[in-house]
Amino acid sequence: MTATSEPLVQVQDLVKHFPITQGIVFQRQIGAVKAVDGVTFDVMRGETLGIVGETGCGKSTTARLLVRLLDPTSGHILFEGQDVGAHQKGDLKALHREAQMVFQDPYSSLNPRKTVGSIISEPFAIHGLLKGSGERRKRVQELMDRVGLNPEHYNRYPHEFSGGQRQRIGVARAIALEPKLLVADEPVSALDVSIQAQVLNLLRGLQREMGLTLVFIAHDLSVVRHMCDRVAVMYLGKIVEIADSDVLYSFPRHPYTGALLSAVPVPSPTGERRRQRELLTGDVPSPANPPKACRFHTRCPKAQSICSEEEPLLELKGTRTEAACHFPLTESEVKLRLPAALAANASNNDRHPDGVLDQSSSSSSPSST
């Protein structure tokens, strides 16, 4: 699916703080976990936007806010120009026909007491569609076949399926109402590598067939590289860099992005020996008490005094990349951290001409500690 220049979703200064309370009977708020703190981005119609970052950076919270499973503390979420962030819960049914989510754990997201047929048909029951039982059963079996499940397994329970099959059930439920936006929150992180490729190819195929817009969240940088048109990098509740996938993987500008990419192993012994790994020191600060100004300055190898005094804005850095950094990476620094093999293969490694992921490709973790 080719992305257009028209945004389907516009997120403006999105904030989600979870209160920290003290007391049992009389509770009072003594602080807040700043899970998402002033995030702004657009999702273009038909594109795949990837969101990456370390655990606890706010990726999953952002995903849940997009489909209004969580209520934002402040900010705006515009879906086709309408501010769904301000909708009351009773007004969200229309949004959930257009925006659906695939969850990380394929087992806990399914009701173990319901059959697969009942789980997939639940969206029709909620929205009052296909009221005839025979008509609804036929549609559910078509969906099962579409995601690669045997329609004869209509009356089986989730525990009778493998992890990959359970995730396919989740995908079938998510596409039942033919939504425009599909948010996939680490949909393959709990699956084996070979099964990951099958599920990723399924999502790509559905995107082409249905014209879906995807927001894809993952830890695995190689998976994000293959799946996404653009990539946003989050750190402690903020987006620190956003760029086209090819540009970000070949020339990252934010030091945090450079550190993540330098941790990715590549099958090039010569390149591995030449490159300089950027090992981040220290632990990730608490989102309840994030550092002032630039939140990365406590771990950044390029930090200077201004980094702890003035918060950098997310702005263009001259390479079609928006980065929030006072001292972005230079070309020479990128060459030290990223071998030529990684930059050269950023857009086509292990990908077939039609954009399908090779099931033999390996995965890699963005852990940089």
CATH number of the domain where residue 57 is located: 3.40.50.300
At CA 171, angle to CA 166 and CA 175, rounded to 5?
Answer: 150
As given in the structure block, the two tokens for residue 114 are: 């319901």
CA distance 31 to 12: 24
The single residue listed with the structure tokens 């099964």 is: 195
Quick count: other Cβ atoms within 10 Å of Cβ 285? Answer: 16
What's the structural domain count of the chain? 1
Q: Whole-model pTM? A: 0.87
Phi, psi at 215, each rounded to 5°: -110, 115
Q: Domain containing 224: what range?
A: 7-80+180-344
pLDDT score for 223: 87
Classify residue 234: in a domain, yes or no: yes
8 Å CB contact between 148 and 199: no
Classify residue 134: in a domain, yes or no: no
| 160 DSSP assignment | G
HSE at residue 179, side-chain half, CA atoms within 13 A, is 28
Classify residue 92: in a domain, yes or no: no
Residue type, 76: H
- pLDDT tens, N- to C-terminus, the chain (369 residues): 556 678 999 999 999 999 999 988 888 899 999 999 999 999 999 999 999 999 889 999 999 999 999 999 999 999 999 998 777 777 788 899 999 999 998 889 999 999 999 999 999 999 999 888 789 999 999 999 999 999 999 999 999 999 999 999 999 999 999 999 999 999 988 888 888 889 999 999 999 999 999 999 998 888 898 899 999 999 999 999 999 999 999 899 999 999 998 887 777 676 666 666 777 877 889 999 999 999 999 999 899 999 999 999 999 988 789 999 999 999 888 887 775 534 444 444 444 444 455 554 444 444 443
As given in the structure block, the two tokens for residue 25 are: 């009977």
Classify residue 65: in a domain, yes or no: yes
Classify residue 242: in a domain, yes or no: yes
Classify residue 17: in a domain, yes or no: yes
Classify residue 257: in a domain, yes or no: yes
pLDDT score for 358: 52
CA distance 224 to 297: 26
Residue type, 193: V
